Amino acid sequence: MRAIAILAQLLVCATPCLAQTAPQAPAAAPVQPATEFRDRVNQLPDLLAGKGDYDAAFADAFRAQVPKARFDAIRKQIEQAAGPYSDLQHLEARTPWSGTLTVEYRDAIVTMAVTVDPAGDHRITALLMQGLTARETTLDAVEAALKGLKGRTGYVLARLGDGKPQLLRQHNADQAFAIGSEFKLVILAELIRATNAGERNWDDMVTLDGKELPGGGYTAKPAGTKVSLRELATQMIAISDNSATDILLGTLGREKVEAMLPVVGIADPARNRPFLGTGEAFKLKTIPALRDRYLAANEAGRRALLAGAVATTPITQVDGALFAAGKPLSIETLEWFETPSDLVRVMDWIRRNTEGPKGVDARAVLSKNPGIPPLSAAKWQYVGYKGGSEPGVIAMTLLLQGKDGSWQVLSASWNDTAQDIAQGRFAGLVGKAAELAAPPQ
């Protein structure tokens, strides 16, 4: 499914300049920005408001990769998530020509990394959105905002310990939602079980057989290519790579992954059987003849279709434009379904089964992409994350360890069968909830 990667979607940076925005070691004394750098930053308000001279402000290499039309589209995405631009709040220089900028919008605070060319006319070479945090200041306010979103929402904040998770806050906690790519947590759980049992090792190699795959980093790899289970799991979780997911599902086995559904605490495992791969879901959602036959069949009939007509239908018949159009596609019938409480139990199972040395690999995979802005993540000692989205669907689940050693899970979902949803606004609220839920330091 469409991976939830809000910050990646709102990237505004010419590729050759990415390295210039990388975090640097803290300076011994505050860095003073160059006067020309500050002057250029002070021009950003007009640019972020859709005004100003785009060509004069940005370097040639930047504009070659981010034409003004694309910049305007990304700027509008930010406004959809955060509301209209309000003010520049703070500039923290990392070097005299680069730094982190806090930008105030009506509904959110956005953090951007900006780099200016120290030579010539000092134009902007990189502008990267690093985080979006909702302006709400209390968990009550975050909950009210989540409840007020159009469609249907649910969330749980739970404390983990030796017994069952203790629900601290909840809304529609036991209602099932379409969860998009969060289903990949169950595949990860089966890999954790298998490696803990000694049946597999993280460095075991998988040889690709050349079969068709959905989009991702392995789609065009030739037969005979070898890739480790560790790499596949990392790509599946960190960037939600669909090709890695389907390779891993096929390697571990659909039946073994399905057997994990009740083990990890999913209350209605039957609703997720057969357990679909991403390529199968794409075909079923976008090819009406396959969809109608599949929905009319019982579980045995659906398995037969997956092995037959679905498997033999070329993935090139998937109409990607249907997803790009932003219209929800059968999200109430053709999906992976879990409740917020289910996802709390899944993360708790992963926590329990990754304690000690055996869990180092799995926890590294789960924490590769924290899913929330740096300001929110910095409140915690450990952040594990998986999210999922497609038109009409967004879900985010975080496994959080406080700096006092305590554990919590935050899981939230939003479905709208009528229209696409404001992913940035939702992600901002979840990030703010994670920030506010952190134990006092």
- The pLDDT profile of the chain, 441 residues, written as one tens digit per residue, is 543 333 333 333 332 222 222 333 444 568 899 999 999 999 988 898 888 899 999 999 999 999 999 999 888 888 888 888 888 878 889 999 999 888 888 888 888 899 999 999 999 999 988 778 888 999 999 999 999 999 999 999 999 999 999 999 999 999 999 999 999 999 999 999 999 999 999 999 999 999 999 999 999 999 999 999 999 999 999 999 999 999 999 999 999 999 999 999 999 999 999 999 999 999 999 999 999 999 999 999 999 999 999 999 999 999 888 888 889 999 999 999 999 999 999 999 999 999 999 999 999 999 999 999 888 899 999 999 999 999 999 999 999 999 999 999 999 999 999 999 988 889 999 999 999 999 997
Structure tokens at 338: 């879990």
- Return the pLDDT at 1: 52
| Structure token digits, residue 87 | 């003010």
Residue 373 pLDDT: 85
* Confidence (pLDDT) at 8: 32
Q: Which domains does the chain have, with CATH numbers?
A: 6-134 (3.10.450), 139-275+336-437 (3.40.710.10)
Cβ-contact 65, 14 below 8 angstroms:
yes
* Among 381, 394, 392, CA closest to 428: 394
pLDDT of residue 366: 98
Alpha-carbon distance 305 to 313, whole Å? 11
Q: Show the tokens assigned to 102.
A: 């806090």
- Give the per-residue pLDDT at 264: 98
Provide the whole-model pTM. 0.85
Backbone angles phi, psi at 375, to 5 degrees: -60, -40
pLDDT of residue 382: 98
Cis peptide before 274 (omega within 30 of 0): yes
Q: Which residues of 44-80 are buried (b: 16+ CB within 10 A; e: fewer)?
A: beebbeeeeebeebbbebbbeebeeeebeebbebbbe
- Cβ contacts of 193 within 8 Å, gap of 6 or more: 260, 263, 353
Is the Cβ–Cβ distance between 280 and 254 less than 8 Å?
no
